[in-house]
Chains A and B, each alone.
Chain A
Amino acid sequence: MRRVAIAAAAVFALLEVAPYLVMLSGSLKTLEEVSRVPPTVVPESAHPENYSEVFEAAPMARYLANTVIVSGSIALAQIVLVVLAAYALTFMRMGPSARAVQVLVLLCLAVPPQVRFVPVYLMLARVDLVDTFFALVAPHAASALGILLACKAMRALPIEVVEAARLDGASELAIAFRVVAPMIRPTLVAFLLFSVVYHWNDYFWTLVMTTSDRVRTLPVGVALLREQGTGVRWHLVMAATVVVTAPVLAIFALTNRHLVRAFTWTSPR
């Protein structure tokens, strides 16, 4: 039974990893080899110069910096707003309106983002904000999912701690960020990771909202790479894709422990 389970896990892991291996091996091949049928598993000879070629073929460094700026700003804005909103909903005396606001937040989750794209685009276009960082960050600054997750984590905290902080002379702002936020850190870290990964990889909104390399991010940049010149240069696309995914994989590898803990977290008492 144990062996079957391990074998099943191995097959599953291989299936998960296979596309990454294809990507990695493809990024080191020549255009001729990467297009060959049947494909080779290990490159006949390694061509790391593909990577430098990618950085020459497109302003990859610029895209990378933009991606860091955009996904970092979104994450920061989200964490600040999530903590503030969830704190207010959980610990401040708002009466019945708190419930109404919470339902409203929940409803935000029910509306698919695609529905919002057009009106948000039109609004931003009217005020001439298309092709700016603001247009990439602001629509994502408030996260309904994050607020609900944080509310759930905060409700599990002993309210006495918040009351103690009030008596200790802390302002509500200080309580939210110095007392409550650290206590729900595992939830915030997990949310932060998902947010960063989601917005790092986000393609559609950036595609709609950007018209120049000034603010364009990596996923869109890689897609543009495909459309340059004559035919798709797959070996370069693969190398560029490695550049896009490597940081995300590194983040996951480094924070693996936090992620596991976030899902097995119980409140401190």
Chain B
Amino acid sequence: MSIELRGVAKRFGDVVALHRLDLTVAAGELLVLLGPSGCGKSTTLRIVAGLEDPTEGEVHIGGRRVDTVDPKDRDVAMVFQGYALYPHLSVRENLAFPLARRGVPRPERAVRVTETARFLGLEPLLDRRPGELSGGERQRVAMGRALVRRPKVFLFDEPLSNLDARLRVDLRAEIARLHRETGATSLYVTHDQTEAMALGDRIAVLNAGRLEQLATPREIYERPRNRFVARFVGTPACNLLAVERGEGVVRAGPLVWAGLDLPPGPLEAGIRPEDLSLGPGDPGNAEVERVELAGPEAHVHLRAGETTLVARVPAATAPRPGDRVHLQAPADRVHWFGDTHEPRRAGRQLP
């Protein structure tokens, strides 16, 4: 079942949470809504669920218009950030609740609860109450409660945000498996780009209620459409440098390229930390201020005059603070951002 948003807008009083959003989630796809807090991603999800009404626009699920349909009649299941389990019911009763409310006969309920519990490894917990479970266990129960109904559409609202880093990775795998094995269309909200990259078939990057880019994780990372996407996706964040044009050369901070054919108008160069190469240099063109080790790699914070940059290099070859280095970046790895939202592509590099 596909999900389709047509010109969906949401205003809370004078605040615009969502500007006319058009978005289609293909049947069986897992689409991630990614963005900083307040970007409208949760609002979008809640509009699909029916927990909020859109101010404008239409929502279609499986070809049926649903924005006037009650949440319970949309055949969607949602996993909440705060788990939202019923604290006075046992895990078994929590799982059976949506079935009971929908009039599934008792014997079938028991079968489906058992099946779901087995699928998620919840069997030993069935007679406990949510209060007696850890955060990870609770979120698995919440997923079970969504799964037990066999809905056509899954909605995830930052389901891993309340968990510690390790559990997040475990449950991420669990969600990927759940999606793979059920084949249900899923809409997944997160502010964590790592999660988005790991899970999404496609990612929709939202900012201030607008869709900035909708593409595969790879494309989002390698061809960000604008500054916001470039900065938001990737750790450390993409370097953004103002571009100056000289006689036959283009400068961005300490970096210089010759023979580039760039479009007119003011530009900024976006360079991923891993695309910066650090050569030995005395005097070089930048100084190492600080080095952060992150396992096998190091994040090197550099200064060149007024400009600061971050480079990602293998830990073994990392320079030391105070070292002078010669910074370079291949022109074909640089993203050129102009005034508009569209990125500019550099022309052919001349010899």
Contacts and interface: CB of A to CB of B under 8 A. Distances in A.
Given A167-B71, A170-B101, A182 B88 contact: yes
Interface of A: 158, 160-161, 163-171, 174, 179, 182-183, 185, 268-269
A183 B86 CA distance: 8
B49 interface: yes
Given A166-B51, A167-B77, A183 B88 contact: yes
**Which interface residue of B49, B77, B86 has the most chain A CB atoms within 10 A?**
B86
Lowest 6 CB-CB distances: which A-B pairs, in order?
A: A168-B98, A160-B84, A164-B84, A169-B101, A182-B88, A268-B87
A168 B97 contact: yes
B78 interface: yes
**Which interface residue of A161, A164, A165, A185 has the most chain B CB atoms within 10 A?**
A164
Contact of B51 (A161, A163, A171, A268): A163
Interface residues of B, number: 24
B72 A185 contact: no
Given A158-B82, A268-B131, A168 B88 contact: no
Contacts, number: 63
A163 B74 CA distance: 14
A30 B149 CA distance: 72
B90 to A, nearest CB: 12
15 contacts: A158-B84, A160-B82, A160-B84, A161-B84, A161-B85, A163-B80, A165-B86, A167-B50, A167-B77, A169-B98, A169-B102, A170-B72, A179-B86, A182-B88, A183-B87
Contacts of A161: 84-87
Contacts of B81: 160
Contacts of B10: none
Given A174-B101, A268-B131, A166 B72 contact: yes
Interface string B59-94: 000000000000110001110111111111000000
B272 interface: no
Given A158-B82, A160-B80, A160-B82, A168 B145 contact: yes
Contacts of A170: 72, 97, 101
B88 A167 contact: no
